Amino acid sequence: MYSLGILLLEVGFWCPIGRIYQDCGSSDLKSFTDELKKRYVPTLSGRMGKAYTQIVSYCLEGKSGGIAGEGSSNGEEEYFIRMGSFLEEFERQVVVKIEGLVMA
């Protein structure tokens, strides 16, 4: 999901992530991601629109909803429940919004 956010950011700016990374000057992933969310994502709205910006922001958050389900006694069942919840949220936050952009 994070990688999708990076890809969409590249498309939105029509600029390779390597160049954006050099401009940020951050050496670790967390600082780089924070810089993207603070400095680059907000400017996407004027270029690509609000829905596109929301999609990128959601993807860069990279929240998987704890899919792994480690330490659970019902490991496999819990995994599928968490995966289902994650996929529903991903569809709502990303897929439906992308479909709306394509249809517009």
Lowest mean pLDDT among 5-14, 64-73, 95-104: 64-73
Residue 37: how many CB atoms within 10 A of its CB?
A: 15
Q: Using only the alpha carbons of the chain, give its radius of gyration.
A: 16
Do 5 and 44 contact (CB within 8 A), yes or no?
A: no
Query: Residues 72-102: pLDDT tens digits?
Result: 557 888 888 889 999 999 999 999 999 988 8
Question: Alpha-carbon distance 73 to 4, whole Å?
Answer: 32
Q: How far is CA 11 from CA 8, 18, 21, in A?
A: 5, 13, 15
Q: Residue 26: what pLDDT?
A: 75
pTM metric for this prediction: 0.80
